[in-house]
A = this chain, B = another copy of it.
Amino acid sequence: MLASTSSAAATAAITTHTNTNASCARRRNFSSDVQHHQRKRNTNNSEFRRQRRQKRRNNGDSTLFVTRAESGGFGDGITNNGLTREISEDVDTVLLDCDGVIWHGDALVPGAKKAVDYLRETLQKRVFFVTNNATKTREYYQWKFSELGMEVDVNHIYTAAFASASYLSAIGFNNTHGSTTTKDGSSSSNKKIYVVGEQGLVRELEECDVGDIVGGVYEAVSCTSSDWEEMHEWTGGDAENDHDDDSRVDAVVVGQDTSFTFAKLAYASYLIQKGAKFIATNPDAGDRLGKEKLLMPGAGPIVKAIETASGRAPDVICGKPGKYMFDAIMSHSHGDPQRTMVIGDRMDTDVKFGKDNGARYSVLVLTGANKMKDVEENEDESKQPSFVVGSLAEACGIPFDPNEPTQRVGERANMAKNYPVGDGTVHDLWASGDDDMDDDDDDYDDDDFIPAT
């Protein structure tokens, strides 16, 4: 029963592993659910230890090992070895989600830098940073890591924007330079891409040289039925002769776009109905922001709108939990899923990302979106974590203090001026075309990426 892979059985077997010397006052902060489990454990301590030993013997699938419970219980100084044995012995590659794991917005999560250092330097694991954000470039994230005290190779950063560019490259979207030029000097054989998304996504697609980004409807908001009927003319399309039409658009890439309009909805669905590839950066409904932690719309609602309007599902959803990004990272790193651990704060993206794609361990940390309650109520095996730990630090056996002061983006005064990240925008240097930047990254090899199957 304990090794059962059914989520119901796994949920029933949830136990907590905390220092029994913790003060009662502290313990009262834990959720009532967890208190219940603690009481059960305390009344039968040897049975608890036996169960725990048995659980740790199997590979961790559907077995929950809680090093820390609900957020209310943080800060009582309890430590243990976390998942250090599993990481040391069973995995070579660790895929780390960023927001909710390494940082909260602009602030480092306590202990996260130490944990990353431990994984990369002490244990010498290959660590990749994997985010479903498709509004920023990898260079932006490299800068953000640097601001938070970590030096990260841009090739170890996977965003949903980069995954989208990689996918396009893998299916033959690669600019030709100079070989086939028209009279006005443009490369006529380049694929044409229409983007519904932020400037960071546009910039990433340009960086990866996967096609020419077309302007589309620019700043237009509305699209009346007359506009729609004229769309055929102003796109220069011709239903019978699409194959030799210079104005044909080959792909529509759709991500979160805080300036989404009906005109973009109409134009994107028009192009998809005309045969353009439909690439979704990621499926996230949104991020929980603000005092009330309500969902602010992400890429998901925009993708759904265009899917409904065009009558066609995306050809690929590039980000987590999809197969494409996982396979791309494995291929790039010559990694083995069975020697890979995924660590994230969301069951529907991070945990599912690992489970659906055959990772050895899929670990949920409780510093972000999902809480212990979500795990206990979950009935979907594909979202059931192998382990639940309080934080990334604790997964690495590092003490976690939620009140520990941490580095914030922008505290390095000289850089701060250039990156007004607080409002979700990115400085022009990274967000839009800049001729001074080196477009050729020799370390990056498109051939390492494979298309989704």
Contacts and interface: CB of A to CB of B under 8 A. Distances in A.
Contacts of A309: 285-286, 295, 297-298, 300-301
B258 A296 contact: no
Given A297-B309, A308-B304, A422-B226, A221 B289 contact: no
B258 A224 contact: yes
A225 interface: yes
A308 B266 CA distance: 19
Interface stretch (A22-30, A228-236, A408-416): A228-236
A257 interface: yes
B228 A290 contact: yes
Nearest to A230: B290
A222 to B, nearest CB: 4
A437 interface: no
A38 B312 CA distance: 35
Nearest to A302: B305
A197 B323 CA distance: 37
Given A225-B423, A225-B424, A289-B225, A301 B297 contact: no
A425 interface: yes
A438 to B, nearest CB: 30
Interface residues of A, number: 50
B225 A291 contact: no
Interface centre among A229, A301, A302 (most CB of B within 10 A): A301
A146 interface: no
Contacts of A286: 269, 309
Nearest to A105: B225
Contact of A228 (B229, B265, B296, B304): B296
Contact of A262 (B231, B259, B295): B259
Contact of A226 (B224, B261, B424): B424
Contacts of A1: none
Contacts of A258: 222-225, 262
Given A285-B311, A309-B285, A290 B260 contact: no
Contacts of A308: 285, 297, 300-301, 304
Interface in A213-263: 221-226, 228-229, 231-232, 239, 257-262
Contact of A222 (B259, B295, B422): B259
A362 interface: no
A294 B265 contact: no
Contact of A305 (B222, B223, B290, B304): B304
Contacts of A226: 422-424
Contact of A297 (B239, B259, B266, B297): B266
A135 B333 CA distance: 54
B229 A269 contact: no
- Sorted nearest first, the 6 A-B pairs with minimum C-beta distance are A305-B305, A301-B309, A297-B309, A260-B262, A301-B305, A229-B290
Interface of A: 221-226, 228-229, 231-232, 239, 257-262, 265-266, 269-270, 273-274, 285-287, 289-292, 294-298, 300-302, 304-311, 422-425
28 contacts: A221-B259, A223-B296, A224-B258, A224-B423, A225-B258, A226-B422, A226-B423, A228-B290, A229-B290, A231-B290, A257-B262, A259-B261, A262-B297, A266-B296, A269-B301, A270-B294, A273-B294, A273-B295, A274-B292, A295-B310, A297-B305, A297-B308, A297-B309, A301-B304, A301-B305, A302-B305, A304-B308, A305-B305
Given A261-B261, A266-B296, 20 more contacts: A221-B221, A221-B259, A223-B258, A225-B423, A226-B424, A229-B289, A229-B291, A232-B290, A239-B292, A259-B261, A259-B262, A269-B297, A273-B294, A285-B311, A286-B309, A300-B308, A301-B305, A301-B308, A304-B304, A304-B305
